[in-house]
């Protein structure tokens, strides 16, 4: 269904709201007096890889590719993303590839591949998809290189569509990934109609993007945002004007600020891996991931590629359109002037939380 219930709910909110506005930082969670850049310099990355990926084929074979200035790279496999050793599955040149034939590694497990160069620090990569038939858009949000040469860790943050149909075996997959927190971005009707099915040991948290619990408030004139979004959607030739409108309002609507704040704070503070999701895992979840990756320093082109990957994982080539994501980023610039100010004043993230996210997720 092209227009999910989230979009229709948000549109009703917009139409009812008129031009209710609030200051950039809601008083209950005011931004810090000083807001230094979220992109403060980290220590230079010791990881020499400039590209690295792992893909699992339908037959169970793995294909690994990497690029680095190293002379040789040794590849070991483990089911633990934090393992410093494992089963050696091959080695190659500093820039190379490796195929691990089906049957080499036990099926039914998620395998992480540690690329150890002869000079520099190792890097761990994995197939992004969790392979859940009943949550086909469940995937790792890591494995991307930042503009300053760091990498986003894999096995720490996952994005997904709804978890209401998971089998017992699929629930075990979540436990096997050491997921200890499930953040639900859906509205109350969605949660009631299709409640999450997660096993004991995973804490459930609601971060409703369209909740009115913080009032019916917007940072800028809602009518102006509605008109601009509609015009932009028509100009871009969008196949779903509801989504063209919905994305800017995920930035303008104050209630959404709290949801994204709570989600990112959960990622920073949670002991274990965190999974967040909506219904299709592409819109609310897509924007959450775009914000997180941008905060970490992942280049915009990579952020956009991750967003568009929902078209592949869901099997729907029209699941998302790039114009929608760009409309949300444009709204950030319109309201706040830059992304860093959005993090501090819109999402009310303090420097300690931003630093914790970077420390936890970057290598």
Q: What CATH number is given to the structural domain containing 55?
A: 2.60.40
| pLDDT given for residue 234 in this prediction | 74
pTM exceeds 0.75:
yes
Residues 241, 287, single domain; the answer is yes
220 in the same domain as 162? yes
Asked if residue 134 belongs to a domain, the reply is no
Predicted pLDDT of residue 42: 67
Do 75 and 114 touch, CB atoms closer than 8 A? yes
Terminal CA-CA length for the chain? 39
Measured CA to CA in angstroms, residue 63 lies from 21, 127, 175, 252 at distances of 51, 9, 25, 42
Q: State which residues form the domain around 62.
A: 51-120
pLDDT value, residue 307:
98
What is the DSSP track for 215-228? -S-BSS-HHHHHHH
| 104 and 249, same domain (yes or no) | no
Domain-located, residue 325: yes
Same domain, 181 and 64: no
* 57 and 90 fall within a common domain: yes
139 part of a folded domain: no
187 and 333 assigned to the same domain: yes
Among 288, 303, 195, 283, CA closest to 243: 283
Integer-rounded Cα Rg, in Å, for the chain is 21
Domain membership flag for residue 231: yes
Same domain, 98 and 220: no
217 and 106 belong to one structural domain: no
Residue 14: its pLDDT value, please? 40
Q: Does residue 99 share a domain with residue 19?
A: no
The answer to whether residue 190 sits within a structural domain is yes
Check whether residue 166 and residue 261 sit in a common domain: yes
CATH code of residue 168: 3.90.190.10
Residue 146, domain member (yes or no): no
In a domain, 287, yes or no: yes
CA distances to 78, 191, 256 from 185, in Å: 32, 9, 10
Burial class (CB in 10 A: 0-12, 13-18, 19+), 222: buried
Q: What's the structural domain count of the chain?
A: 2
Question: What is the model's pLDDT at position 18?
Answer: 37
Mean pLDDT by 10 residues, the chain (363 residues): 43 39 42 41 83 97 98 97 95 97 94 97 98 98 97 98 98 97 98 97 97 92 72 72 83 97 98 97 98 98 98 96 96 97 98 98 97
Q: Are 132 and 140 in contact (CB under 8 A)?
A: no
Q: Same structural domain for residues 60 and 196?
A: no
Angle (deg, nearest 10), helices 284-296 and 300-308 = 160
My answer on whether 115 and 236 are in the same domain is no
Q: Confirm whether 126 is domain-assigned.
A: no
CA 152/CA 226 separation, integer angstroms: 35
């Amino acid at each position: 269904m092209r227009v999910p219930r989230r979009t229709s709910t948000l549109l009703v909110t917009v139409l009812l709201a008129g031009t209710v506005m609030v200051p950039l930082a809601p008083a209950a969670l005011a931004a810090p007096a000083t807001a230094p850049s979220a992109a403060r310099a980290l220590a230079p990355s010791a990881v020499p890889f400039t590209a690295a990926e792992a893909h699992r084929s339908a037959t169970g074979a793995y294909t690994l590719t990497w690029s680095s200035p190293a002379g040789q790279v040794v590849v070991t496999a483990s089911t633990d993303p934090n393992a410093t050793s494992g089963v050696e599955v091959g080695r190659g040149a500093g820039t190379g590839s490796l195929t691990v034939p089906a049957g080499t590694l036990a099926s039914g497990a998620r395998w992480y591949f540690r690329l150890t160069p002869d000079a520099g620090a190792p890097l761990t990569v994995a197939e992004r998809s969790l392979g859940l038939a009943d949550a086909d858009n469940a995937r790792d949000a890591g494995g991307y290189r930042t503009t300053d040469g760091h990498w986003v860790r894999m096995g720490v943050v996952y994005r997904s569509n709804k978890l209401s149909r998971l089998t017992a075996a699929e629930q075990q997959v979540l436990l096997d990934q050491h997921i200890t927190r499930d953040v639900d971005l859906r509205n109350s009707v969605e949660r009631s109609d299709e409640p999450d099915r997660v096993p004991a040991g995973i804490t459930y948290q609601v971060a409703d993007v369209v909740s009115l619990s913080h009032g019916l408030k917007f940072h800028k004139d809602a009518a102006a945002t509605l008109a601009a979004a509609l015009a932009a959607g028509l100009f871009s030739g969008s196949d779903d004007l509801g989504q063209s409108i919905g994305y800017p309002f995920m930035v303008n609507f104050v209630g959404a600020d709290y949801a994204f704040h709570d989600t990112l704070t959960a990622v920073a503070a949670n002991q274990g891996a965190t999974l967040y999701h909506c219904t299709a895992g592409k819109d609310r979840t897509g924007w959450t991931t775009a914000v997180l990756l941008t905060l970490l320093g992942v280049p915009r082109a990579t952020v956009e590629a991750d967003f568009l990957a929902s078209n592949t994982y869901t099997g729907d080539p029209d699941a998302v359109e790039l114009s929608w994501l760009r409309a949300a980023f444009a709204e950030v610039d319109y309201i706040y002037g830059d992304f860093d100010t959005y993090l501090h004043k819109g999402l009310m993230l303090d420097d300690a939380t931003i630093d914790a996210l970077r420390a936890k997720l970057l290598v």
